Amino acid sequence: MAIGDAVVFELGAANESHQPSSGVEEKISSIAKQSVTDAVNLKDSAGTQIIIGGGKDTTGDTVNTSTWHGQATSMGIMITNSQYIEKAGTTDRIMGTGVVFNV
């Protein structure tokens, strides 16, 4: 793993997290969430910050539904081994992309 390498992750149907190895920093630039059940959180020792709430869906048809479908792109979330992305629940699929920022 080197600075500038692409980061792609998928969190499936379990309560999972994406956490870089010790000493590695990643800058997450987009997150897609395909349903309206599980929240996507930024988690660390101080607590939890919601990135995308459980009732939000970032994919699909934005015209023929009343569900919010905002696109979660152009973000700049820096994560490390102690501050990471968590999917809170066991239903939705979460996909994310970014870049290795420091090793």
Q: Is the pLDDT of residue 64 over 80?
A: no
The dihedrals phi and psi of 11, each to the nearest 5 degrees, come to -110, 115
| Pair 91, 44: CB distance under 8 Å | no
Q: Could you report the per-residue pLDDT of 76-95, keeping only the tens digit for each?
A: 899 999 999 999 999 888 99
8 A C-beta contact, residue 17 and residue 90: no
Q: How far apart are CA 26 and CA 6, in angstroms?
A: 9
Q: Which residue has the higher pLDDT, 28 or 66?
A: 28
- Highest average pLDDT, of 34-38, 65-69, 82-86, comes from 82-86
Domain ranges of the chain: 6-102
pLDDT at 69 over 60: no
User: Is the CATH number of domain 6-102 2.60.120?
Assistant: yes
What mean pLDDT value characterizes the chain? 86
88 or 63, higher pLDDT: 88
Q: Looking at the predicted structure, is the pLDDT value of residue 72 above 90?
A: no
